[in-house]
Amino acid sequence: MSTPETTPVTTDVATAPPVLEISSLCVDYGVGQGAVRALHDVDLTLRRGEVLGLAGESGSGKSTLAYAVTRLLSPPGVITGGDVRYHPRGGEPVDVLAMTPQELRAFRWQEISIVFQGAMNSLNPVHTVRTQLTDVLKAHRPGMSRTERVERARELLSLVGISPDRLSAYPHQLSGGMRQRVMIAMALALEPEVVIMDEPTTALDVVMQRQILRQLVRLREELGFSVVFITHDISLLIEFSDRIAIMYGGRIVEQAGAAEIYRDPRHPYSDGLLHSFPALRGPRRELTGIPGSPPDLKAMPPGCAFHPRCPKAFDPCDRRVPRLAPVGTDTDRSVACWLNDDRRSGEA
Amino acid sequence: MSEEHTARPADERVVLEARGVSKHFPVRRGPRSLLGGPRPAVHAVDDVSLRLRRGSVTALVGESGSGKSTVARLLAQLYPLTSGEILLDGEPARAGRGRAFRAYCRHVQMVFQDPFASLNPVHTVRYHLTRALRIHNRAGNSRQELEEALTELLGRVQLTPAGRYLDSFPHELSGGQRQRVAIARALAADPRVLLADEPVSMLDVSIRLGVLNLLRDLKERLDLAILYITHDIASARYFADTTLVMYAGRMVEGGDSETVTQRPAHPYTRLLLASAPDPDRVTDGEDGEDGGEGRADEPTEDADPAGGEPPSLISPPPGCRFHPRCPMAMERCRTQTPPRFDLDDGQWAACWLYDTPSAVPAGRTGGTAEAPGTGSEAAS
């Protein structure tokens, strides 16, 4: 196979130190009586150099999680509890939620950058690519001279595979895929430790999507940053990420290595999600998707949020919320399902 | 897939046909180009021919900008044609406006991509469906008959009990339910052809298959001809009987869905298949040799994803429009537009590679190619 870059580098990533630790993070939209809880006790660890995939349907809270971690959540979103710790390279961990606006300003883009959903349209149409790329450097690296900034901008463009002479182009002169790459270049401008990508390629075609993701994986290996990759397309994640966390109704329901999730999903929702994508090869099977529709945050079902759609729901599911717990002795896998509670090593 | 449509003569089943259809959109000229030169146009669709048969799903696959939605809109007579013709039941159809357009709509209905935008937010489901029924004179003569028609429509799209949905507003429904209402509205005309323009790409992943299965069920029960437009070639394989591939405004390949996805002939189709997300690609490498049956025609082997982007359609490249990105481009690809070359099993490709039998590329050694127009059957 001619795709060596898709081989997960599990050996060194699995033991790598954490770079971002999220513990029991809760986010509400609104306050008081009308508040809607969008994230429930989310625990997630991002290790240095890994690509962590975050999968879920719309309304599952995956984008909210990205915004909460970067403190970009705009009202009525409120972080109501939990902890986000960032571990700088060779330094003491920092509490992201306690940062002052000045600290945040230095922290964002320098340590964590984010490529937004529909990033193709986040470029300013009346400025050239050069102005927008050097603007980042101007704000964060006041010591740099004008020529150094332009030099760095040229370097960044060639890093993402765009010819540096496109620096003076306006966004409308670039194709969608190129605009997306400019956004990625901008996110890498200050060499951050963590890049969060919120549905970075949803608006692109499959051919372009693959080109960009390959480039990203290559850059990750060259520059050593970690990636949180948010998407609803789990088949894409299985190819491109090391670990996958699956969200449903504001909680993480399963977390495991990409190949493990694909081979042996433990949560019925992960299983359903994997069976919602028709295969390109092999026998043509009748697929059903998942019956019902995703839950409404305003009227969450009691107990496990998935139980009304779950084919395996049984006694405790509609009353008690399952906690995210490790599967067997494997500390790297966890699942929030009552099925896993007692007979974890039982029948599959 | 389905047996019954092959049993009868194929041409009787054809409801809607496009013959050599082209659509060019004129571009507004800038101050510089005002001086002379031909008026530029976007060549959105060029020389497209296709047939939709009753009880069969035809998928039209392509990237955005390849002209697939324009084809649907041309078939729905929402745009005038630049050239070519559209035949309904073998008769040339030229729906203009008003009465003629409505008569055409009775047979050909369209379902749009975004159910959040295609339903009016200030009206209930009842209003949307009643209006469609009234326009097509199917609302009956009494209140009770109307009520029955509404219940039946919602039942067809599996929104039961109907009473729960009739008086709700679009914002009270989930995406999947909304798309079902949009399908019900299209069915209100009792059409024979349904043009579905990316009907599931705006929906949540877990409910997409539910809507696709519903459409397939409707196809069988109502003997509909469905055109399914998508960029997801895996879903075309799952859902459609026939698959057509479009690139930069032209059809490049067509045939039975299984054949097109398992033994792609055109280099572009191979690129598309190699780019589609496929978890098996990773896990197969780890698991070793399981699931190895029928993998000789591995589409990924020879198709190293080519760089580049689709061409500008204002001045499309001469010859084959894929030649600037094609790993197998030959000299004549740059100058001559390839016609359709018939391959086995009703598959065809518009690619010069299939002009002579000796030029069959590696990876398709099992297939045979024949010279165009001779009709001589090459032994396989």
B179 falls within a domain = yes
> In this predicted structure, what is the pLDDT of residue A21?
92
> At residue A97, what is the residue type?
L
Mutation site, A207, A217, A229, A230, interface B, largest B CB count within 10 A: A207
Domain count along chain B? 1
| pLDDT the model gives residue B148 | 92
pLDDT of residue B197: 92
Per-residue pLDDT at B30: 67
Q: What average pLDDT score do residues B330-350 get?
A: 90
Check pLDDT > 70 for residue B194.
Answer: yes
The answer, yes or no, to whether residue A255 has pLDDT greater than 70, is: yes
Q: What is the pLDDT of residue A344?
A: 42
Position B9 pLDDT exceeds 60: no
**Contact A270/B at CB under 8 A:** no
Is some CB atom of chain B closer than 8 A to the CB atom of A5? no
Residue of higher predicted confidence among A16 and A4: A16
- pLDDT per residue over B244-265, tens digit each? 999 999 999 999 999 999 999 9
State how far residue A234 is from chain B, nearest Cα, in angstroms.
Answer: 9
What is the domain range of residue B216? 4-25+41-277+298-359
- Sign of the dihedral through C-alpha A181, A186, A187, A189: positive
Task: Indicate if the pLDDT at residue A347 is higher than 60.
Answer: no
Q: What is the CATH number of the domain that holds B100?
A: 3.40.50.300
Query: How far apart are the CA of A11 and the nearest CA of chain B, in angstroms?
Result: 14
Contact list, B232 vs chain A (CB under 8 Å): 206
Condensed to tens digits (0 to 9), the pLDDT of residues B85-120 reads 999 988 888 777 788 888 899 999 999 988 888 999
Minimum Cα–Cα distance from B294: chain A residue: A282
Name which of B114, B106, B260 is nearest B196 in CA terms: B114
Q: Which of the two residues, A26 and B202, has the higher pLDDT score? A: A26
Does B14 reach chain A within 8 Å, measured CB to CB?
Answer: no
CB contact under 8 A, B279 and A262: yes
Distance CA A210, CA A208 (A): 5
Contacts of B282 in chain A (CB under 8 A): 6-8, 238-239, 258-259, 262
Please judge whether A277 and B231 are an interchain contact, meaning their C-beta atoms are less than 8 angstroms apart.
Answer: no
CA nearest to B263 within chain A: A281
The rounded mean pLDDT for chain A is 84
**Closest by Cβ to B272, choosing from A207, A234, A239:** A207
Closest approach of chain A CAs to the CA of B204, in angstroms?
6
Report the CATH fold assignment for A16-248. Rossmann fold (3.40.50)
Query: Measured between CA atoms, how close is A102 to chain B, in angstroms?
Result: 39
Within 8 A of A262 by CB-CB distance, chain B residues are 279, 282-283
* Chain B neighbors of A232, CB-CB under 8 A: 204-205
Determine the number of helices (DSSP H) and then strands (DSSP E) in chain B: 14, 12
Interval A80-129: pLDDT, tens = 989 999 998 878 888 988 899 999 888 888 899 998 877 667 889 999 99
Work out the pLDDT band at A59, boundaries 50, 70, 90: confident
Q: Taking 50 as the threshold, does the pLDDT of residue B365 lie above it? A: no
Place of tokens 């088949």: A235
B304 pLDDT exceeds 50? no
Q: Quick check: B64 and A205 CB within 8 A?
A: yes
Q: Is B205 a member of any domain?
A: yes
B144 burial via Cβ count (<10 Å: 0-12, 13-18, 19+): exposed
With beta carbons under 8 A apart, name residues in chain A contacting B204.
57-58, 232, 293-294
Domain presence at residue B135? yes
- What whole-number percentage of chain B has pLDDT above 70? 80
Kindly state whether residue B156 falls inside one of the protein's structural domains.
Answer: yes
Q: Has residue A4 got a pLDDT over 60? A: no
Tens of pLDDT, residue by residue over B31-83, are 666 666 677 888 999 999 999 999 999 999 988 788 888 999 999 998 889 99
Tell me which of A55-64, A152-161, A201-210, A216-225 is least confident: A201-210
* Interval B200-236: pLDDT, tens: 888 888 888 889 999 999 999 999 999 999 988 999 9
Give the separation between CA A143 and CA A149, rounded to whole angstroms: 10
The mean pLDDT value for A194-211 works out to 82
**CB-based contact B300 A1, cutoff 8 Å:** yes
pLDDT level of residue A46 (50, 70, 90 thresholds): very high
Identify whether the C-beta of residue A70 lies closer than 8 Å to the C-beta of residue A245.
no
**Would you place residue A22 in the very low, low, confident or very high pLDDT band (cuts 50, 70, 90)?**
very high
pLDDT at res. B366: 40
Domain presence at residue B284: no
Instruction: Give the mean model confidence (pLDDT) for residues A200-225.
Output: 83
What pLDDT is stored for residue B207 in this prediction? 86
Q: Which of A43-47, A337-341, B288-292 has the lowest mean pLDDT?
A: B288-292
Cβ of A278 within 8 Å of Cβ of B235? The answer is: yes
DSSP A33-86: GG-EEEEEEEEEEEETT-EEEEE--TTSSHHHHHHHHTT-PPTTEEEEEEEEEE
